[in-house]
Amino acid sequence: MAAVEIIRRAFEAFADGDREALIEACHPEVEIHAVTNVVAGREGAYHGPEGVGEYLDDVARIWDSVELQPHHLVELGPGRVLVIGRVRTRRGATRLDVPNAWLWELEGERVRSVRLFVDPETIPVLLAERDANPVA
């Protein structure tokens, strides 16, 4: 299965609240680097299948709603995909709608790492990396 398709399925599993499908899509040593861990008071990334569950629990506890909107999926190299989109969140009366980029790394057909970048300045840097190392 192509990397882009694996990542699309992971976004769909998140949107559907399908915990089991999301855990199944991830490598046993997956790392998730997101804003939610900071808001939740956690240090560092979420790790492994337990970490995926903790991440989903934190999302449910912290946010009233979260909508991930992946607009463009760009292969940077084998097993590396940059996703450019938006995140919409709501907590009480506070609503956020911000641009985001996610850097996904796969090992085989499973997600090994996801890193969220909220700084739009990061996107050109990641794309330049792709241009320097084109997908074969």
Predicted TM-score (pTM) of the model is 0.84
The per-residue pLDDT for 104 is 97
Instruction: Tell me the CATH number at 31.
Output: 3.10.450.50
End-to-end CA distance of the chain: 16
Q: How many domains does the chain have?
A: 1
The per-residue pLDDT for 125 is 64
- 83 neighbors 70 (Cβ within 8 angstroms): yes
94 CB-near residues (< 8 Å, 6+ apart): none
pLDDT in tens, 9-54: 999 999 999 999 999 999 999 999 998 888 888 889 999 999 999 9
- 78 neighbors 135 (Cβ within 8 angstroms): yes
Tokens of 36: 């939610």
The per-residue pLDDT for 50 is 97
48 CB-near residues (< 8 Å, 6+ apart): 28, 29, 30
Query: Which amino acid would we find at residue 89?
Result: T
Domain that holds residue 16: 3-132
- 115 neighbors 33 (Cβ within 8 angstroms): yes
Q: Which residues pair with 81 in a beta bridge?
A: 75, 104
Alpha-carbon gap, residue 36 to 4, rounded angstroms: 24
- 63 neighbors 92 (Cβ within 8 angstroms): no
pLDDT in tens, 60-82: 999 999 999 999 999 998 999 99
The per-residue pLDDT for 121 is 66
pLDDT in tens, 68-127: 999 999 999 899 999 999 999 998 999 989 899 999 999 999 999 999 987 666 666 666
**Average confidence score pLDDT of the chain:** 89
The per-residue pLDDT for 127 is 64
Query: Any alpha helices (H) in the chain, and if so which ranges?
Result: 3-16, 19-25, 35-39, 48-62, 122-132
The per-residue pLDDT for 136 is 47
